[in-house]
């Protein structure tokens, strides 16, 4: 014997309304002595009943689970009951006022049919919305799981490679191949850590920690070629702790790389870190730390003059990441991600409770300022 499912209930409600309309208007034909009026009324309430029947058939073809179908059925029945209750309330008021009730069956059938149809439609979209939300949660869990799995396995493999490469360096004479392997393995490990930190921040899995923004900035700048084509000026305090994780490295790297990539040849880049302690001319709150990167290039790109930071497709996302996440030579950002890198910076700054602002630099080019929450040494968290 087939199991009764939710779409059967919806169809039965529609069939019941259709039969009730047919019986009622059939008796009206004899009562009024003509066919036109009852037939027109039947076209209305019977048509709504047919629509409820069609909704039941449509739900059956949508591949919903039994639980989802029963949820739609409950919405359908509830819609009919609520509509009938509302109409019955109006009838009760008329009775209380002493007014006569003229042929209430027809409007009751219309109300019940409209309530059923509305409930079926609302229930179906409620089920779809719940399913979409569930799939989104599952996707986030899957991304988080893959992130942790890959970083665990790759970290172990690269650590093994670097260990054996170090042994080869000690055992070989004159060959730098082993040293190259060890260096590349070390870079790979740094890249994994940076990518993992970015993913954790975006997914909301990042724990509370203190990161020295000044030390991170110095480390990133040490890999920049400060030669004839690039001049880097710095104004960095001894330390400037922020509440974040190692993904801060991607913020610094992307802003510096953006300045170098877009400012043209012989660029001058000025990098400063300001701690808001009341003794700075920068607009930094007492509980904030600001990273300011300026250049003497052509100024702000057209894509971000309206205050948004488009992704690598040119769309104004303001939350977009760089094309390869955190992949570059130091594991912090993409060298091809000038504008898309700014999307990653905006995303990370927001994830850390900060912000990214763009403006014109005193040097004549662009100025980008990231503010992050200050994390003094006596605050909660741990150092990374």
pLDDT at 169 (0 to 100): 65
The pLDDT value recorded for residue 166 is 73
* Close Cβ partners of 143 (under 8 Å, ≥ 6 residues apart): 199, 203
Residue 55 has a pLDDT of: 93
Q: Is the pLDDT of residue 311 over 70?
A: no
Question: In angstroms, rounded to a whole number, what is the distance separating the alpha carbons of residues 12 and 52?
Answer: 9
Task: Identify the three-state secondary structure at position 209.
Answer: strand
pLDDT at 165: 72
Lowest mean pLDDT among 14-28, 167-181, 251-265: 167-181
* Cα distance between residue 355 and residue 292, in whole Å: 12
CA distance 316 to 309: 6
Residue 79, Cα to own-chain centre: how many angstroms? 33
Q: What are the domain boundaries of the chain?
A: 6-138, 209-383
Contact 190, 253 (CB under 8 A): no
pLDDT for 254: 85
Give kind and range of the element (H or E) at residue 120. helix 105-171
At 28, is the pLDDT very low, low, confident or very high (cuts 50, 70, 90)? confident
Structure tokens at 23: 């019986």
Alpha helices in 33-97 (DSSP H): 36-60, 66-96
For the chain, give the percent of residues with pLDDT over 70: 70
Q: Which of 51-65, 149-163, 227-241, 258-272 has the lowest mean pLDDT?
A: 149-163
The answer regarding whether domain 209-383 maps to CATH 3.30.70.250 reads no
Burial class, 247, CB count within 10 angstroms (exposed 0-12 / middle 13-18 / buried 19+) = buried
The whole-angstrom separation of Cα 267 and Cα 255 is 14
Query: Is 243 or 305 the better-scoring residue by pLDDT?
Result: 243
Examine the pLDDT at 327 and tell me if it is beyond 50: no
Q: Please name every residue paired with 366 in a beta bridge, in sequence order, or none if there are none.
A: 360
**Cβ neighbourhood burial of 36 (10 Å; 0-12, 13-18, 19+):** exposed
What average pLDDT score do residues 150-155 get? Answer: 63
pLDDT band at 323 (very low <50, low <70, confident <90, very high): very low
Residue range 120-148, pLDDT digits in tens: 999 999 999 998 888 888 777 766 666 66
Q: What is the pLDDT of residue 229?
A: 78
Which pTM value belongs to this model?
A: 0.50
C-alpha to C-alpha distance for 121 and 101, rounded to whole angstroms: 32
Condensed to tens digits (0 to 9), the pLDDT of residues 72-101 reads 999 999 999 999 999 999 989 988 888 887
3-state secondary structure 282-323: CCCCCCEEEEEEEECCCCCCHHHCCCCCCCCCCCCCCCCCCC
Q: Nearest to residue 204, comparing CAs of 144, 251, 288, 130? A: 144
288 against 283, higher pLDDT? 288
Say which residue, 260 or 317, is predicted with more confidence. 260
Cα separation of 274 and 256, whole Å?
Answer: 16
């Amino acid at each position: 014997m087939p199991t009764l499912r939710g779409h059967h209930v919806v169809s039965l409600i529609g069939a019941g309304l259709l039969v009730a309309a047919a019986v009622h208007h059939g008796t009206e034909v004899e009562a009024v002595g003509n066919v036109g009026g009852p037939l027109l009324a039947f076209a209305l309430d019977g048509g709504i009943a047919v629509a409820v029947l069609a909704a039941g058939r449509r739900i059956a073809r949508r591949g919903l689970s039994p639980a989802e179908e029963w949820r739609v059925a409950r919405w359908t029945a509830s819609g009919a009951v609520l509509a009938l209750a509302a109409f019955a309330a109006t009838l009760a008021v008329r009775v209380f006022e002493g007014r006569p009730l003229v042929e209430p069956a027809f409007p009751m059938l219309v109300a019940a049919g409209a309530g059923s149809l509305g409930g079926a439609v609302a229930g179906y979209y409620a089920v779809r919305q719940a399913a979409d939300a569930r799939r989104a949660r599952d996707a986030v869990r899957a991304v988080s799981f893959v992130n942790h799995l890959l970083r665990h396995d790759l970290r172990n493999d690269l650590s093994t490679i670097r260990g054996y490469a170090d042994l080869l360096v000690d055992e070989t004479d004159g060959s730098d191949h082993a040293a190259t392997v060890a260096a590349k393995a070390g870079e790979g490990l740094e890249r994994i850590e940076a990518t993992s930190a970015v993913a954790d921040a975006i997914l909301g899995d990042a724990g509370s920690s203190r990161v020295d923004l000044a030390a991170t900035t110095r480390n990133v700048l040490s890999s920049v070629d400060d030669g004839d084509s690039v001049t880097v000026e710095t104004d960095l305090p001894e330390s400037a702790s922020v509440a974040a994780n190692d993904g801060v490295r991607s913020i610094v790297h992307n802003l510096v790389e953006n300045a170098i990539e877009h400012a043209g040849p012989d660029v001058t880049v000025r990098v400063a870190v300001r701690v808001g302690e009341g003794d700075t001319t920068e607009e930094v709150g007492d509980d904030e730390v600001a990273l300011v990167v300026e250049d003497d290039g052509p100024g702000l790109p057209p894509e971000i003059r309206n205050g948004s930071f488009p992704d690598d497709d040119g769309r104004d996302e303001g939350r977009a990441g760089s094309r390869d996440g955190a992949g570059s030579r130091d594991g912090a950002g993409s060298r091809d991600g000038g504008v898309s890198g700014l999307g990653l910076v905006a995303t990370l700054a927001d994830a850390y409770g900060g912000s990214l602002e763009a403006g014109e630099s005193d040097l004549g080019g662009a100025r980008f300022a990231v503010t992050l929450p200050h994390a003094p040494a006596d605050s909660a968290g741990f150092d990374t």
